[in-house]
Amino acid sequence: MNLYELTIQEALDGMDRGDFTAVELTADLLGRIGAVEREIQSFLTVTGELALAQAARADARRRQGDASPLLGIPLGIKDVLSTRDVETTCGSKILKGYVPPYTATSVKKLEAAGMVMLGKTNTDEFAMGSSTENSAYHTTRNPWNLERVPGGSSGGSAAAVAAGEALGALGTDTGGSVRQPASFCGVVGLKPSYGRVSRYGLVAYGSSLDQIGTLTKDVRDAALLLNVIAGHDPRDSTSLPDATPDYRTALTGDVRGLRVGVPAEYFIDGIEPDVEQAVREAIAQLAHLGAEIIPVSLPNTDKAVPVYYMIATAEAGANLARFDGIRFGYSAGADRLMDNYRQTRGEGFGPEVKRRIMLGTYVLSAGYYDAYYGKAQQVRTLMKQDFEDVFSRVDVIACPVSPTTAFKIGEKSDDPMAMYLADVFTLSLNLAGMCGISVPCGLDAAGLPIGLQLIGPHLGEEVILRTAHAYEQSTNFGLSVGGLAAASRRHVAG
């Protein structure tokens, strides 16, 4: 058995038994990267020397009796998270060569827990996209089918986990950017509640929407990583002071009596029949396990796409104003200040980022603020109230992650609206600040993964982890050795 096939928990158990060392595990992962990275292109930067040095330190700590929760575990980090002394580009030419002087809180917590950092994973530029085709450097490919996208914007992290290039990874989710690539790549993607994980050190896209999440091979690993990264951080004013539980205790395998809401608005015209069938079969499996299935309605779901693209682009326009060619990153070097601004941003930003900045500037402009941005915020409140009303009657919501499986590279590149609609089932959750998880629930006729989305109330991570784990353990779609991840690796060389 190859070590790169292990889950995080399996790897920890193996190192604790003395079956292999962190250095041996890390070398195996780096070897896997060397074997398949040319095809998959999950990474923007591979930090091989750093990883081996961290692994050696982890082995020394283990010999001294250290029981840190991630000691010696090789992970990938999405390249929108700042990492001291390691280039952080956000998938953009405007930050090529930028090396942060500090590390994001979530990454520092992983380091303190003993993580080995394999490198920085590819992303749509500034996390703006649903396919990882918007990266300024290269397009990541789906390990299940190299002609398909891995989803986005955390496509590099999802593909790395699915292809065995990392045991787990961090991603970010502003409108579905953890859950949708998890669904497309057949891995588990967890988006925590807004405020549950510190955003300090995350290069901001939409500040009221962004959240750092995890991509793993199974639900147990998702709970383990969330245990490490969750918690209050005084450096993030949106970070909640609420105590964090041990999320692993929620993994009871028992959903008897759990009330599962199924929203009619998430089964719409345009959803692929294979996706609908797999999700409905997954819901039926939850009923078989003892859950009560309750039809519910989220009536403002159809407004999610326009509301999201009003609010997210307005926030993006403000957040990306700092990239001006003066303080850090790329500079066009023009003699006059205004010319330098124009040329730097014109040459440094890609088409999708420019599109969103222009849209955001428009909705915030004089005469349009109330009509667009202000109205979008009012509808956002209605959407949040929809969720709160439903969660007064159910414990968790079950629905699809995406209306389709992974589409072909280039298929939607010239149609921004079609690309935006790929996230129609994930956007509402970010607008309402709730938590959600994607767990594999089957394959379509072409052999591509399908994800079941489970949505919980704010700070309801325990209930979605409990439900996802019970479902995973009762099916053959788990991602431990021999499951979907092993199947996906047959599609790539090595």
Enumerate the active-site residues: 78, 153, 177
Q: How many CB atoms lie within 10 A of CB 377?
A: 15
Which backbone phi and psi does 171 adopt, to 5 degrees?
-135, -175
**Residues 6 or more apart from 187 whose CB is under 8 A from it?**
158, 161, 162, 215, 216, 217, 440, 479, 485
Which one-letter amino acid corresponds to residue 97? G
**CA distances (Å), 72 to each of 111, 164, 205, 216, in order?**
10, 16, 31, 16
Report which of 371, 351, 328 is spatially closest to residue 94, judged by C-alpha positions. 328
Q: How many CB atoms lie within 10 A of CB 2?
A: 14
Give yes or no for a cis peptide into 297 (omega within 30° of 0): no
Kindly give the pairing relationship between strand 116-121 and strand 43-46.
antiparallel
